[in-house]
């Protein structure tokens, strides 16, 4: 039996617009997709999936996790050929209306991103929007989020900076249940790559955190949870956030909390907190300020990285956004760190990412427009 790994995210009771005919979408959805620079006709042609073609088979006791917007479960997805199945994750939004609306918005944002896929960004397969009471978004599946992954594997951490490893003998270890100094740099590099690509769309994530950074069984990073993401025209500035202050993530940059301003540099602030958690092997979600970090450093183990990386991390927390690095600089910084281990390591991770990118292109076969293709290995 063939089995592929993507994900389906489900939301019941979403206030979906009623489709009044094949070529007459309601004003609500038409406006939403227009705001995200995609027409409903373009969406339907490329991303709509008939409900009967999406078979969700629940698997008991297979809860993957619970986030702010809903619970995620593992399931199986079947289609035309019963021997071809997709291993998926199903996420049902919590019943609060604004959380359901955010899940709907995530569909639209990811559809816009679909033309510019990246192996370090979670890719959409399609969605079901024909039933006002039941909406599905279908994406790739990852093994877990990076916060949980670090928590489960930190006790077996392999410190390659201790001097017990010969540089020319260090290679990428694809075994899922292992964690090393090199892995941390690889994770930071891949998050940087994904966020640089997102910035160039241009788009701000607005909720970058380890719980929203996924990892596959091949240890490839997928940045996900785009429910708060926003596409915009001006790469350098975005303000007047529609997110109420009491719903702004507490790890947000000061300009967000004080003025509601979102830019690449506000995502950089959150990236700095991701780096801190990575290089301290910490899963403490209460560390949201520089003062919290300083107190943590006084009472816990030292960083699992060189001092220069911590200095770079602190640059992400400069009060003035213009003094923080951008994601292009982050990519370069961690590429240099990879090359400190071995020049071959950077080449190897890039080769892995190229392969992942090719596999993402296969996702288009699972929509109605790609449904005539039979999946073969």
The CA distance from 275 to 189, in Å, is 10
> What are the b/e assignments for 296-320, b being 16+ CB within 10 Å?
eeeeeeebbbeeebbebbeebbbee
Which of 188, 321, 338 minimizes the C-alpha distance to 256?
Answer: 321
The CA distance from 280 to 184, in Å, is 10
Query: Residue ranges for the binding site for Mg(2+)?
Result: 212, 225
50 has catalytic annotation: no
Beta 2-12 vs 84-93: how paired, if at all?
parallel
The CA distance from 30 to 178, in Å, is 47
Neighbours of 56 (CB within 10 A): 14
Query: Residue ranges for the binding site for ATP?
Result: 211
Which of 111, 149, 127 minimizes the C-alpha distance to 281?
Answer: 149
Query: Residue ranges for the binding site?
Result: 211-212, 225
Q: Which residue has the tokens 């969605």?
A: 127
Neighbours of 92 (CB within 10 A): 17
| C-alpha torsion angle, residues 151, 286, 95, 105 (rounded to 10) | -90
Beta 134-140 vs 124-131: how paired, if at all?
antiparallel
Phi, psi (5° rounding) for residue 213? Answer: -105, 115
The CA distance from 165 to 233, in Å, is 47
Give me the catalytic one of 207, 286, 292, 319.
207
Give the residue numbers marked as catalytic. Answer: 207
């Amino acid at each position: 039996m063939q089995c592929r790994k993507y994900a389906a995210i489900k939301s019941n009771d979403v206030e979906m617009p009623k489709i009044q005919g094949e070529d007459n979408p309601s004003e609500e959805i038409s406006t939403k997709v227009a705001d995200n620079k995609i027409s409903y006709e373009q969406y339907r042609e490329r991303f709509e999936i008939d409900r009967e073609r999406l078979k969700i088979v629940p698997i008991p006791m297979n809860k993957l996790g619970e986030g702010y917007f809903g619970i995620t479960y593992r399931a199986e997805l079947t289609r035309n050929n019963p021997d071809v199945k997709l291993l998926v994750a199903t996420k049902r939004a919590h019943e609060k209306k604004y959380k359901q609306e955010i899940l709907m918005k995530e569909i639209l944002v990811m559809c816009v991103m679909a033309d510019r896929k990246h192996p370090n960004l979670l890719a959409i397969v399609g969605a079901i929007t024909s039933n006002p009471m039941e909406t599905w978004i279908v994406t790739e599946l990852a093994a877990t989020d990076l916060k949980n992954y670090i928590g489960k594997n930190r006790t077996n951490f392999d410190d390659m900076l201790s001097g017990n490893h010969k540089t020319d003998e260090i290679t990428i270890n694809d075994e899922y249940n292992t964690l090393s100094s090199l892995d941390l740099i690889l994770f930071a590099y891949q998050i940087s790559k994904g966020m640089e690509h997102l910035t160039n769309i241009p788009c701000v994530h607005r909720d970058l955190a380890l719980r929203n950074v996924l990892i596959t069984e091949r240890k490839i990073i997928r940045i996900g949870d785009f429910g708060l993401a926003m596409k915009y025209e001006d790469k350098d500035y975005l303000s007047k956030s529609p997110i109420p202050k009491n719903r702004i993530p507490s790890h947000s940059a000061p300009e967000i909390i004080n003025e509601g301003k979102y830019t690449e540099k506000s995502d950089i602030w959150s990236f700095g907190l991701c780096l801190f958690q990575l290089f301290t092997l910490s899963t403490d979600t209460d560390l949201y300020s520089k003062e919290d970090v300083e107190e943590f450093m006084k009472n816990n183990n030292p960083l699992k990285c060189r001092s220069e990386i911590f200095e770079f991390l602190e640059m992400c927390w400069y009060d003035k956004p213009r003094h923080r690095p951008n994601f292009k600089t982050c990519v370069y910084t961690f590429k240099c760190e990879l090359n400190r281990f071995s020049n071959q390591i950077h080449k190897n991770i890039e080769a892995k990412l190229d392969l992942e990118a090719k596999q993402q292109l296969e996702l288009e076969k699972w929509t109605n427009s790609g449904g005539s293709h039979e999946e073969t290995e």
